[in-house]
Amino acid sequence: MSDPTQPTTGDDPTAPAGTPGPAGPAGPAGTSAGTSSGRAEPTGGRTLADPADEVTEINPDVDIAPEDIGVPVVSEGERLLEVDEVTLRFGGVVALNEVSFHINKGEILGLIGPNGAGKTTCFNVMTGVYQPTSGGVRYLGKPLGKRKKYQITKLGIARTFQNIRLFANMTALENVLVGVDAHHSTGVVSAMFRLPKHRREEGQGYARALELLTFMGLDGKADELARNLPYGDQRRLEIARALATSPQLLCLDEPAAGFNPAEKAKLMELIRTIRDQGYTVLLIEHDMKLVMGVTDRIVVLEFGRKIAEGSPAEIRDNPAVIAAYLGVDEEDAS
């Protein structure tokens, strides 16, 4: 069985369709032709849209709480996942060096660090892409061991990707249905003969997919091909597909990449709402304003080692973190 959260080889994640049109003619020196507000006006007399007006609005009142997928549910505040002294080597390169941290049920944990710190590599170990050289990952108190990616998805861990990985030639609805199918138990024979159990699962899955698209504000684009969606909507669609697997732990890998400030503000609202609906969130992100504004705790990596862990306020003033980001000695940063 393939991993329901990953497209097959050859699918093009694609950039958002369309590019901005040419700017309008220049006005007098030092000014631009436009309205009295000073906003540039393209040829044809149309004013440029405010990016904040083009951000898709979510529907936070839609109930998208995780469905029962037959795995134990821990209480709020208890440890959901533990990374225990994980080391990962690629030949002579140590990508992760005895990294340890945990994620509590119901929290938003940030995983940050400079480029090349090992953040996505850590995600890949947690989701079964890589097997650690030593150490291990425990989920719900049990080792993940050598489980395959789709088996980890079935246990309740879902992720998005740094580079969008949608099924480009499938509709938005079909992409979410792929995630829903992760927990369906009927097979080829049931589908061929349209047996009652298959019809029941198909109907429930369709309703769940539409529910998630409505929550994301994408219900009006359910029948559009993923490749034709704007970039921000592609990001939201990938999150919807991950949520469709009914995870207890949602891992977001740089979800704000390429977003403008208005989109980032809406993303913070989205992440908080997802947590409030019963999910636990692990967030990799480079935008410090977003991380500091939305997380409960933060773990910092540098060159594959954990150098700090604490609340956003503690991390903001940590000399080791400041040194890692500014490239100065720890003594100079303190």
| DSSP assignments along 121-183, one per residue | HHHHHHTTSS--SEEEEEETTEE-TT--HHHHHHHTEEE--SS----TTSBHHHHHHHHHGGG
Does pLDDT of 49 surpass 70? no
Same domain membership, residue 259 and residue 330: yes
Number of domains in the chain: 2
Res 223: pLDDT: 97
229-279, pLDDT tens digit by residue?
Answer: 999 999 999 999 999 999 999 999 999 999 999 999 999 999 999 999 999
Task: Give 57-75 pLDDT, tens digit per residue.
Answer: 999 999 999 888 777 878 8
> What's the CATH number where 119 sits?
3.40.50.300
38 falls within a domain: no
Residue finishing a domain among 226, 245, 264: 245
Picking from 203, 225, 245, the residue at the C-terminal end of a domain is: 245
240 with 253, same domain: the answer is no
| Closest alpha carbon to 286 in 270, 298, 269, 273 | 298
318: in domain: yes
Query: Quick one: 259 and 306 in the same domain?
Result: yes
Under the banding of pLDDT at 50, 70 and 90, the label for residue 332 is: low
- Three-state SS annotation for 256-268: CCCCCHHHHHHHH
Residues 239 and 252 in one domain: no
| Residue 222 resides in a domain | yes
Name the percent of the chain lying above pLDDT 70.
Answer: 82
Residue 98 placed within a domain:
yes
Q: What angle do CA 162, 149, 228 make, to 5 degrees?
A: 40
What is the per-residue pLDDT across 217-232, written as a single tens digit (0 to 9) for each? 999 999 999 999 999 9
Work out the pLDDT band at 33, boundaries 50, 70, 90: very low
Q: Are 128 and 147 in contact (CB under 8 A)?
A: yes
- Residue-range definition of the domain harbouring residue 200: 166-245
Q: DSSP 3-state assignment of 4?
A: coil
Beta-sheet pairing, 79-90 with 93-104: antiparallel
Residues 252 and 122 in one domain: yes
Q: Does the residue 290 lie in any domain?
A: yes
